[in-house]
Amino acid sequence: MELEITIRKRASAFAAEVAALVKQSIAEQVARAVGASKPATRPAKATGARVARAKPYSPKGRKLRLPPHCIAPNCTKPYVGGSKRSFTCDQHFKASKVEKRKWLAAWRETKVKG
Ligand SMILES: [Zn+2]
């Protein structure tokens, strides 16, 4: 009988402990969820709007930037015909489409950097 009683006592104590732990963990999770969601959403929206406003697309900076000369590497001849002929001189206009595309891609990269 005594053993049964001690077991029951311990079992009830254990149950109470588990219940307390569960309550605590739930409270922590709720606090974390509430605490994490509030600062994460509000400043993110605010900074996003600020960033969008900080970089206005000014018409002054919208210059059409063209290559200074033929886009072929190590060629300083002026190009003929502009974009119609991929900004190549008479000599390099005969180059293959693949090569011209490569040159154009290289030119675009320098455009982004500068
Ligand atoms: Zn050329």
* pLDDT tens-place string over residues 25-40: 888 988 888 876 655 5
DSSP state for residue 77 in the 8-state scheme: S
Q: Is the pLDDT of residue 76 over 90?
A: yes
**The predicted structure's pLDDT at residue 15:** 85
**The predicted structure's pLDDT at residue 22:** 87
**The predicted structure's pLDDT at residue 48:** 53
Q: What's the predicted TM-score (pTM) here?
A: 0.44
**The predicted structure's pLDDT at residue 70:** 95
**Whether residue 48 is found in the same domain as residue 64:** no
Domain that holds residue 83: 60-113
**Whether residue 64 is found in the same domain as residue 52:** no
Residue 28 CA to ligand 1 centre (angstroms): 69
| Ion ligand 1: residues, CB < 5 A | 70, 72, 75, 77, 89, 92
Q: Is the pLDDT of residue 52 over 70?
A: no
Provide the phi-psi class of 82: left if phi over 0, else alpha when psi is between -120 and 50, else beta.
left
**Whether residue 104 is found in the same domain as residue 68:** yes
Domain count, the chain: 2
Residue 61 CA to ligand 1 centre (angstroms): 28
Residue 77 CA to ligand 1 centre (angstroms): 6
Q: What is the mean pLDDT of the chain?
A: 80
Residue 24 CA to ligand 1 centre (angstroms): 74
**Whether residue 43 is found in the same domain as residue 89:** no
**Whether residue 13 is found in the same domain as residue 48:** yes
**Whether residue 47 is found in the same domain as residue 64:** no
The residue-averaged pLDDT of 74-87 equals 91
**Whether residue 26 is found in the same domain as residue 69:** no
**Whether residue 79 is found in the same domain as residue 51:** no
**Whether residue 41 is found in the same domain as residue 12:** yes
Q: What is the per-residue burial (b if ≥16 Cβ within 10 Å, else e) of 76-109?
A: eeebeeeeeebbbbeebbeeeeeebeebbeeeee
**The predicted structure's pLDDT at residue 98:** 96
Residue 90 CA to ligand 1 centre (angstroms): 7
**Whether residue 52 is found in the same domain as residue 67:** no
**The predicted structure's pLDDT at residue 7:** 82
